[in-house]
Amino acid sequence: MASSPDVTPSADNTPGSPGSGTTPRRGRVRGRRAAVLAVPATLAAATLAVLTAEGILGVQFAISGMPFVVKADKLEGVGFEQYGSLDHMIPNSPNEGDTGGQVLVVTSVIGKGKLTNMCQSVDLGGIQLILTAGNKGTKVEVENLAIDSDEIMGNASFNDIEIGRDSSTFDRVPGYKGSPGVYGQQARTVTIDNLYQRNYAATAAVFKLPDLRMKFSTSGCPGT
């Protein structure tokens, strides 16, 4: 869950942006780029190209192609890995746009983590489904969380980070690795303040959501 200074949410690419006037094309890979950008350590760090190999799957299921936003005041994680991946929709998905049903993503893995004041929103075609948790003093808890994103922002810090390691040799989170030859990074710990992600898929062994609330709204998470 590193962050990039080149990636900023806008009315063109952030679900539920007020005043956009149009509904974003679902499932679209921004810019049709052949690489995924990842940034180590802080927002001011230089960007790194994460080479993505054909057929890599960050999540082992067909995605809907409808992106969802996750925001949190703070993410604290022990065991962190990140590498390029390629997600796939079902054949002839109505959300495939001009991507052929494929979405280029960064897979971020957290062994054990906590999130403060988490909000998740998904645009269901003019109305937003909002989920909030961890906003009354008890943090959201996750274990073995793997999340596929095409936009990530925040103020990040890492301890014992390795940058440029072959993702097939990762060992920070047992059972989670990329494919041979794929560029990635891993760290002992990660902390991100003011986290913003636009995601296409997520899996977790444990996901505890204290003070969970779900509702429909005409706007997404605050600030999106």
The Cα–Cα gap between 158 and 40 comes to: 8
170 part of a folded domain: yes
How confident is the prediction for the chain on average, in pLDDT? 80
pLDDT above 80 for 35: no
Mean of pLDDT values over 198-206: 96
12 part of a folded domain: no
pTM of the model: 0.74
**pLDDT at position 224:** 74
Mean of pLDDT values over 56-78: 87
Domains of the chain: total: 1
The Cα–Cα gap between 97 and 103 comes to: 10
Distance of CA 153 to the CA centre of its chain: 10
Picking from 79, 90, 125, 106, the residue whose alpha carbon sits closest to that of residue 178 is: 106
5 part of a folded domain: no
Domain that holds residue 146: 30-217
8 part of a folded domain: no
The Cα–Cα gap between 103 and 224 comes to: 21
50 part of a folded domain: yes
9 part of a folded domain: no
**In the chain, pLDDT over 90 holds for what percent of residues?**
69
What digits encode the pLDDT tens for the residues 104-137?
Answer: 999 999 999 999 999 999 999 999 999 999 999 9
92 part of a folded domain: yes
pLDDT above 90 for 144: yes
224 part of a folded domain: no
